[in-house]
Amino acid sequence: MSSSLQCRSISKTFGGLKALQSVSVSVKPGQVVSIIGPNGAGKTTFFNCLSGIYKPEQGEILLDGIRINGLAPHLICRRGLARTFQNIRLFGEMSALENVQVAQFSHQKKNPLAILFHNPAHHRREEAFLDEALGLLEFVGLPDVANVWARNLPYGSQRRLEIARALASRPKVLLLDEPAAGMNPNEVGEMMALIHRIRDRGLGVILIEHHMKLVMEISDSIHVLDHGESIAEGTPSEVRSNPKVISAYLGQEAPN
């Protein structure tokens, strides 16, 4: 099976600072790949390059074999790559349902005449999109909050709503930036189960996360960044025992 997303030798600098140095990551359908590393390692910069917020100076990003680096973020999203953010970016004074429906817009073909004359086909499409949005709220565990303003939801529910909104864009690959940040153990367990369900739908998932229990239990492979460089990659058991990883996290010198 070919990779859904291939990132080859991605480099990004800010002035004289090398934020990323030749980082390569790939993810296949139904696979969870985690990106870990100390604060400032370049993890979110990497996501910003993938999603089109930053343009890397070197390397290429391929989604189903088609180069996407250099495209605007909305075009990358339309091609099948969606993301969440470390800091929640919901529309607070819109309902949970409306937040999900916003992300459906790129898939809706509006015909002014059909809307004006109440075309039955238009109504069927609208009903199908509504059913899809409600289904996504149920999928992420929020079936009863469709009409609640996003800002009034508990923190953990806001995190899941943001994922529902990302899924509404119908991605092939989903980027999750610290989805378990600030959660209590019960919420972390619910998030872990949700990521399992997303993977079971056949999506590729790239995860940035500091919660090591979640990372070790859910990842098919892990890439470790430190000062913008990839210092290790492998299965959870391989990464856990890697001396370079221990050094990066604990500040100890790696043995020769």
Which tens digit of pLDDT belongs to each residue from 132-180?
A: 999 999 999 999 999 999 999 999 999 999 999 999 999 999 999 999 9
Separation of alpha carbons 243 and 234, rounded Å:
13
Distances (CA, A) of 100 to 96, 130, 140, 180: 7, 10, 12, 20
Q: Is the pLDDT of residue 45 over 70?
A: yes
Burial (0-12, 13-18, 19+ Cβ within 10 Å), 139: middle
What is the separation, in whole angstroms, between the first and last Cα of the chain? 37
Interval 55-61 mean pLDDT = 95
Contact 50, 43 (CB under 8 A): no
DSSP 55: -
Q: What is the per-residue pLDDT for 84?
A: 95
Q: Which domains does the chain have, with CATH numbers?
A: 1-80+172-256 (3.40.50.300), 90-170 (no CATH)
pTM of the model: 0.88
∠ CA 17-9-60, rounded to 5°? 110
pLDDT digits (tens, 9 = 90+) for 121-134: 655 677 888 999 99
| Nearest C-alpha neighbor of 176 from the set 204, 149, 151, 200 | 204
Q: What tokens appear for 9 in the block?
A: 């030798």
Place of tokens 């992420």: 140
Contact 62, 249 (CB under 8 A): no
